[in-house]
């Protein structure tokens, strides 16, 4: 359900009329070549369209207005081939509401030492043309990414690709709707937040429903659809032999009925993320576990216990990571392993709802009792997460702003089997170590729920938070606690004074 096909990035080159029409023709040709090259690069997932060589204020203003209203355009790449006096960019940049990437490149990689003359210098003057543009963007406090280097460099393409993915997640978020089945878990604080402010910042709408609304959809699922889904379960996952002859099979069919009902509800309402709560299951036979896992794997964002902020964070991370190796899941820091001599580890899991996109192997489909909720034994997928690098992120509402915290980590192999653990899990070593990471996360007020990803990196999160004007507190290998606490204090001043919005 996640695709970049409907999106475009617009490539705009800045210049002026001072150098004559021939120069402008050459600039247009060079710009088309760069845009066409970007468009063919597989690591750049969004279509790149060359728009124009901008050389006067009116054209730039019209172009920015067009970008704003275009459903396809999710961001603009600007590059100054020559000097483009920046006053002509004022009205356009003030109006632009789409993400901006300032590509500081040069058409020719090397200086032709023997041939270079003033004509060549006039054509290839990005080195100072882009600085003039940079001044205006800084003067107007326009949030943007600046990418430096030759346009064919791997590093440049990588940075542009990361930005495209963040821009796609922002575009997706601005049109997204979250369905909440039931409210937040009673008395829980961090999963709460200001939904109006969230819509202002992220664009997404949060819609609440009684569980009865979902139950109607669940009841309407046909026996045929239940049969189809159940057959797929038996095909796709590891199941106990002759499962279809056991008493559990009717409960598995019930899980399929819930999945079918949830999917039709989410499709009918065009929702991109959803939440559930074990405190409100009236009319549902079991807590939706398998359904949440499978819908997450399809690309839906999910948050448990009514956690709508995390559900959309998971969705945005799934958009940013779409097509990359590794998956993204809703996650919770559950239990610690604190052996003498270390290393201290975190066992991440949830009651049921961990996305199989992060599984190291084919998940096992099982039904076990749930110690809370008082419902029938829910079906769930069991697996452990793939080893390797990952990132955890959370978004909290501080009252005057939203804050994201991120923590890089290494998923490690469990030192022993966990034969009695009836849920999917991930075991990780957070950077720089658990002691610093957890203290920083707690000082920053980070939630116990997170978006966990092995496809998205902190680079994506940086671009994403920049585009949305969010605070980002990064915890990584270089984090030192006293410095981290100082950053929290200085950020408080910055966000109190920031009058951008
Ligand atoms: Mn939870």
Ligand 1 centre to CA of 191 (Å) is: 9
Ligand 1 centre to CA of 86 (Å) is: 50
Collect all residues with Cβ–Cβ distance below 8 Å to 66 and sequence separation of at least 6: 73
- What secondary structure, in 3-state letters, does 238-281 show? ECCCCHHHCCHHHHHHHHHHHHHHHHHHHHHCCCCEEECCCCCC
| H or E stretch at 210 | none
Q: Is pLDDT of 499 > 70?
A: no
Instruction: Give the pLDDT of residue 428.
Output: 98
Ligand 1 centre to CA of 219 (Å) is: 27
Max mean pLDDT among 20-24, 146-150, 368-372 falls in: 146-150
User: What percent of the chain shows pLDDT beyond 70?
Assistant: 99
C-beta separation of 165 from 159 below 8 A: no
C-beta separation of 288 from 137 below 8 A: no
Q: CB neighbours (10 Å) of residue 125?
A: 19
Distances (CA, A) of 305 to 181, 277, 352, 373: 9, 4, 12, 12
Q: Is pLDDT of 500 > 60?
A: no
pLDDT confidence band for 374 (50 / 70 / 90):
low
C-beta separation of 450 from 492 below 8 A: no
Ligand 1 centre to CA of 374 (Å) is: 17
The whole-number average pLDDT for the span 99-127 is 96
User: Which tokens in the block code for residue 138?
Assistant: 């800084």
The whole-number average pLDDT for the span 215-243 is 96
Instruction: Give the pLDDT of residue 244.
Output: 86
Ligand 1 centre to CA of 389 (Å) is: 23
Ligand 1 centre to CA of 8 (Å) is: 37
Ligand 1 centre to CA of 150 (Å) is: 46
Q: Is pLDDT of 446 > 90?
A: yes
Instruction: Say how far apart CA 30 and CA 2 lie, in whole Å.
Output: 33
Distances (CA, A) of 135 to 84, 89, 106, 397: 12, 11, 18, 33
Ligand 1 centre to CA of 333 (Å) is: 9
**80, 59, 68: which is closest to 136 by C-alpha?**
80
Ligand 1 centre to CA of 301 (Å) is: 15
Ligand 1 centre to CA of 454 (Å) is: 20
Instruction: Give the pLDDT of residue 312.
Output: 98
Q: What is the mean pLDDT of the chain?
A: 96
pLDDT confidence band for 59 (50 / 70 / 90):
very high
Instruction: Give the pLDDT of residue 501.
Output: 45
Measured between alpha carbons, how far apart are the two ends of the chain, in Å? 32
Pick the CATH number of 8-174 from 1.10.8.100, 3.30.70.2520, 3.40.50.10940, 3.40.980.10: 3.40.50.10940
Instruction: Give the pLDDT of residue 279.
Output: 87
Ligand 1 centre to CA of 334 (Å) is: 9
Rounded to a whole number of angstroms, the CA Rg of the chain reads 25
Instruction: Give the pLDDT of residue 110.
Output: 97
Instruction: Say how far apart CA 125 and CA 131 lie, in whole Å.
Output: 10
Which residue(s) pair with 102 in the sheet? 78, 146
| Residues 253-280 pLDDT 10s | 999 999 999 999 999 999 999 999 988 8
Half-sphere CA count of 23, side-chain side, radius 13 A: 20
Ligand 1 centre to CA of 459 (Å) is: 27
pTM above 0.75, yes or no: yes
Instruction: Say how far apart CA 76 and CA 64 lie, in whole Å.
Output: 9
Instruction: Give the pLDDT of residue 376.
Output: 86
C-beta separation of 300 from 315 below 8 A: yes
Ligand 1 centre to CA of 65 (Å) is: 43
Q: CB neighbours (10 Å) of residue 256?
A: 24
The whole-number average pLDDT for the span 20-26 is 93
For residue 97, count CB atoms less than 10 angstroms from its CB and return exposed for 0-12, middle for 13-18, buried for 19 or more.
exposed
Q: Where in the chain is the domain with CATH 3.40.50.10940?
A: 8-174
C-beta separation of 250 from 286 below 8 A: no
| Residues 308-349 pLDDT 10s | 999 999 999 999 999 999 999 999 999 999 999 999 999 999
Ligand 1 centre to CA of 352 (Å) is: 10
């Amino acid at each position: 359900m996640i695709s970049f096909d409907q999106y475009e990035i617009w490539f705009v080159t800045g210049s002026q009329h001072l150098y004559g029409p021939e120069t402008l023709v050459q600039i247009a040709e060079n710009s088309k070549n760069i845009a066409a090259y970007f468009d063919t690069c597989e690591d750049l997932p969004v279509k790149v369209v060359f728009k124009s060589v901008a050389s006067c204020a009116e054209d730039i203003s019209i172009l920015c207005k067009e970008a704003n209203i275009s459903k396809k355009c999710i961001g603009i790449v600007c590059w100054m081939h020559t000097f483009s006096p920046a006053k002509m960019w004022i009205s356009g940049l003030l109006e632009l509401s789409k993400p901006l990437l300032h590509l500081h490149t040069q058409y020719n990689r090397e200086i032709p030492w023997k041939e270079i003359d003033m004509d060549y210098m006039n054509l290839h003057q990005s080195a100072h043309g882009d600085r003039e543009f940079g001044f205006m963007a800084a003067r107007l406090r326009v949030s943007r990414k600046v990418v430096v280097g030759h346009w064919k460099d791997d590093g440049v393409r990588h940075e542009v690709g990361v930005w495209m993915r963040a821009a796609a997640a922002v575009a997706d978020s601005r049109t997204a709707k979250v369905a909440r089945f039931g409210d937040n878990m009673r008395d829980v604080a961090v999963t709460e937040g200001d939904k109006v402010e969230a819509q202002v910042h992220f664009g997404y709408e949060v819609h609440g429903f009684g569980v009865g609304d979902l139950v109607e959809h669940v009841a309407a699922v046909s026996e045929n659809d239940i049969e189809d889904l159940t057959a797929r379960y038996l095909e796709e996952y590891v199941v106990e032999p002759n499962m279809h002859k056991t008493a559990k099979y009717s409960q598995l069919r019930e899980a399929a009925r819930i999945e079918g009902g949830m999917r039709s509800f989410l499709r009918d309402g065009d929702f991109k993320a959803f939440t559930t709560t074990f405190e409100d299951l009236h009319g549902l036979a079991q807590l939706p576990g398998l359904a949440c896992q499978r819908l997450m794997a399809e690309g839906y964002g999910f948050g448990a216990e009514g956690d709508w902020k995390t559900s959309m964070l998971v969705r945005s991370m799934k958009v940013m990571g779409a097509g990359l190796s590794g998956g993204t899941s809703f996650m919770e820091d559950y239990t610690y392993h604190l052996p003498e001599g270390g290393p201290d580890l975190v066992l991440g899991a949830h009651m049921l709802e961990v996305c199989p996109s992060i599984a190291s192997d084919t998940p096992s489909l099982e039904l076990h009792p749930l110690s809370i909720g008082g419902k029938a034994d829910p079906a769930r997928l069991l697996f452990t997460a793939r080893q390797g690098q990952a990132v955890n992120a959370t978004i909290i509402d501080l009252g005057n702003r939203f804050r994201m915290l991120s923590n890089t980590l290494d998923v490690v192999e469990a030192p022993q089997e966990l034969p009695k653990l009836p849920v999917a899990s991930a075991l990780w070593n957070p950077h720089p170590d658990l002691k610093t990471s957890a203290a920083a996360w707690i000082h920053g007020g980070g939630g116990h729920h997170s978006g966990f990803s092995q496809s998205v990196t902190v680079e994506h999160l940086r671009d994403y938070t920049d585009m949305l004007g969010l605070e980002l507190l990064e915890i990584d290998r270089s984090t030192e606690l006293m410095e981290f606490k100082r950053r929290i204090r200085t950020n408080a001043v910055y966000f109190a004074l920031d009058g951008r919005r």
